[in-house]
Chain A
Amino acid sequence: MLLVLLAPLGSTRAEAQNLGAIEISGRAKIGTKIEKITRKRFYLFRGGLEANRAMLDRVKASAGVSRDCFYCRAKASPEYIAWLKAENCESPFCREITADDITKVPEFQAAYQKGLKQFRGKTDIAQKWVTTNLPPELRDGFYRQEKTLLDTLLAGAKPLQSSMTDIVTIKAIFIDIALTAGKTSETFLISNLVPIEIGGKGYVWACELPNGPNAKPTTLQPTFPVVNKSGQKCEVYVRDLPVCAGGSCEAK
Chain B
Amino acid sequence: MPVLLLAALVAPLPLLLGGYTLSLLIVIGLHALAALGLGVLMGQAGQVSLAQGAFYGLGAYGSTLLATHGGMPPWASVPLAIVAAAAVALLLGLPAVRLGGHHLALSTLGFGIIVFLVFNNETEWTGGPSGVIGIPPLALFGRTVATDRAYAYVVWSVLLAALLGVRVLLRSPTGRAFRAIAASEPAAAAMGIDVARKKLLAFVLAGALGAAGGGLYAHWLTFISPTAFGLEASIEFLVMAVLGGLGSLYGPLLGAATVTLLVEGLRSVVQVVIPGATGWVEVTVFGLILIGVLLLAPEGLAGGLARARRRVTARRREDTRNA
Chains A and B bind each other: no
Residues of chain A touching chain B, judged by Cβ–Cβ distance below 8 Å, are: none
